[in-house]
């Protein structure tokens, strides 16, 4: 392996690594990222990492390169396979791994891909990612002889989702995973949930033939709205490419944006306003500037905190 790898600075983003495959992000880059991250993990006293990947066509090759880089640092890698990003985070906890790395292009076009990372129970972002880039460029890698082992967690993950469900029994729900990585998990989930469920675009296809994999853009919810109307559903839920963001449609086909969904959470968590009197919320002006967010927190005895 080459000891030094200068990464394109545009892929070193604030919260993840992301670039155009074959242009700003290659398998050699990802292998070096694995070595740099593995070295940081080893320096922090970690020895294990869980690795997953989404349904993009480039993801299996990138996952293999990432695993190779981690193993070269002496890391034991749990390869959980194809699935949504939340399943990777679950696997990190379930397998008691010291880190988690997800190969995913998230809600971006098919030619993009990248890596989301956690380290010892916290997000790996900002200065961490910049340090990873510097370490790769310097070739400052820890050497070791790790190993990789496949570990399937999808059954455990679906069971945990089912165990946590405490909603209504008779809902009619439309689902659109958008040909993304949540497809298989969702199919298993709706087979167990109470109520009636309809799933479209459930086949995992990294070319995203139905629509762009970003449900926070209303035009990508067109098929979901149509399904809600056709089946007379009370609710429609769409997912992005790696299943960690959603778009929600009500029975009338209206989009429930993040602010509306957010304001419901305190009421669901503490419906009688009796618990957690010190509950605090961050109301970022750029994203959560509506009065409903502050009032929702207040109704649950919480205190909204404005951050600019």
pLDDT tens per residue across span 44-70:
999 999 999 999 999 999 999 999 999
Long-range contacts of 198-205 (CB under 8 A, 24+ apart): 198/173, 198/174, 198/227, 198/231, 198/233, 199/175, 200/174, 200/175, 200/176, 200/224, 200/227, 201/176, 201/177, 202/175, 202/177, 203/179, 204/55, 204/82, 204/179, 204/180, 205/55, 205/179
Final residue of a domain: which of 256, 273, 288? 256
Q: Is residue 157, in this structure, part of any structural domain at all?
A: no
In Å, how far are 45, 51, 69, 127, 276 from 124, measured between CA atoms?
16, 14, 18, 9, 29
Q: What is the pLDDT of residues 231-258, one digit of tens each?
A: 999 999 999 999 999 999 999 999 998 7
Q: Are 170 and 242 contained in the same domain? A: yes
- What's the whole-number mean pLDDT along residues 278-282? 43
If one counts the domains in the chain, the total is 3
Average model confidence (pLDDT) across the chain: 89
Q: Are 117 and 217 contained in the same domain? A: no
Q: Which of 74-83, 125-134, 169-178, 272-281 has the lowest mean pLDDT?
A: 272-281
For 156: left if phi > 0, alpha if psi spans -120 to 50, otherwise beta; the answer is alpha
Is the pLDDT confidence value at 302 over 90? no
Could you tell me which of 93, 52, 75, 54 has the C-alpha nearest to residue 148?
A: 75
- What's the whole-number mean pLDDT along residues 156-173? 92
Q: Are 251 and 276 contained in the same domain? A: no
Is the pLDDT confidence value at 261 over 90? no
Q: Report CA 304 to chain centroid distance, whole Å.
A: 26
Final residue of a domain: which of 128, 152, 176? 152
Comparing 81 with 169, the larger pLDDT belongs to 81
Q: Are 176 and 130 contained in the same domain? A: no
Is the pLDDT confidence value at 272 over 60? no
Write out the two tokens for 28.
């050699």
Is the pLDDT confidence value at 93 over 50? yes
Is the pLDDT confidence value at 294 over 90? no
Calculate Rg over the CA atoms of the chain: 21
Please tell me the pTM assigned to this model. Answer: 0.87
Host domain of residue 169: 165-256
Q: Is residue 238, in this structure, part of any structural domain at all?
A: yes
Given pLDDT bands bounded at 50, 70 and 90, which one contains residue 259?
A: confident
CB-side exposure of 104: number of CA atoms within 13 Å?
A: 30
For 297: left if phi > 0, alpha if psi spans -120 to 50, otherwise beta; the answer is alpha
Q: Are 13 and 144 contained in the same domain? A: yes
Q: What is the pLDDT of residue 166?
A: 85
CA angle 21, 27, 32 (to 5 degrees): 125
Burial class (CB in 10 A: 0-12, 13-18, 19+), 76: middle
Final residue of a domain: which of 92, 117, 152? 152
Q: Is residue 159, in this structure, part of any structural domain at all?
A: no
Is the pLDDT confidence value at 41 over 70? yes
Give the whole-number percent of the chain exceeding pLDDT 90.
80
- What's the whole-number mean pLDDT along residues 282-302? 46
Q: Is residue 41, in this structure, part of any structural domain at all?
A: yes
Write out the two tokens for 146.
């790790």
Q: What is the pLDDT of residues 187-217, one digit of tens each?
A: 999 999 999 999 999 999 999 999 999 999 9
Q: Are 47 and 132 contained in the same domain? A: yes
Q: Are 232 and 284 contained in the same domain? A: no
- What's the whole-number mean pLDDT along residues 128-139? 97
Q: Is residue 177, in this structure, part of any structural domain at all?
A: yes
Q: Is residue 4, in this structure, part of any structural domain at all?
A: no
Q: Are 142 and 241 contained in the same domain? A: no
Q: Are 212 and 294 contained in the same domain? A: no
Q: Are 171 and 143 contained in the same domain? A: no
- What's the whole-number mean pLDDT along residues 280-286? 41
- Active site amino acids: 106
Q: Is residue 33, in this structure, part of any structural domain at all?
A: yes
Q: Is residue 158, in this structure, part of any structural domain at all?
A: no
CB 235 within 8 A of CB 99: no
Q: For residue 252, give the CATH number of its domain.
A: 3.40.120.10
Is the pLDDT confidence value at 1 over 50? no
- What's the whole-number mean pLDDT along residues 143-160? 97
């Amino acid at each position: 392996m080459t000891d030094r790898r200068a990464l394109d600075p545009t892929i070193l983003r604030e919260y993840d690594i992301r670039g155009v495959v074959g242009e700003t992000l290659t398998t050699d880059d990802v292998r070096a990222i694995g070595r740099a991250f593995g070295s940081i993990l080893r320096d922090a006293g970690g020895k294990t990492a869980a690795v997953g990947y989404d349904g993009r066509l480039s993801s299996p090759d990138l996952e293999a390169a990432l695993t190779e880089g981690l193993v070269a640092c002496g890391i034991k890698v749990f390869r959980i396979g194809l699935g949504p990003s939340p399943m990777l985070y679950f696997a990190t906890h379930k397998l008691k791994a010291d880190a988690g790395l997800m190969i995913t292009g998230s809600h971006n076009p098919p030619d993009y891909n990248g890596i989301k990372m956690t380290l010892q129970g916290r997000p790996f972002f900002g200065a961490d990612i910049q340090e990873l880039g510097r370490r790769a460029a310097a070739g400052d890698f820890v050497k070791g002889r790790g190993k990789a082992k496949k570990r399937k967690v999808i059954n455990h993950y679906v069971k945990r989702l089912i165990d946590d469900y405490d909603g209504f029994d008779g809902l009619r729900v439309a689902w659109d995973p958008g040909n993304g990585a949540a497809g298989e998990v969702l199919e298993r989930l709706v087979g167990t949930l109470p109520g009636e469920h309809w799933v479209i675009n459930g086949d995992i296809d990294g070319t995203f033939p139905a629509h762009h994999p970003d449900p926070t853009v209303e035009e990508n919810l067109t098929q979901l709205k149509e399904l809600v109307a056709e089946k007379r559903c009370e609710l429609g839920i769409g997912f992005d490419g790696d299943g960690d963001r959603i778009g929600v449609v009500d029975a009338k086909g209206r989009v429930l944006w993040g602010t509306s969904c957010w304001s419901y959470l305190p009421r669901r968590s503490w419906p009688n306003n009796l618990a957690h009197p010190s509950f605090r919320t961050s109301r970022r002006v750029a994203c959560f500037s509506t009065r409903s967010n502050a009032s929702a927190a207040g109704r649950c005895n919480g205190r909204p905190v404005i951050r600019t």
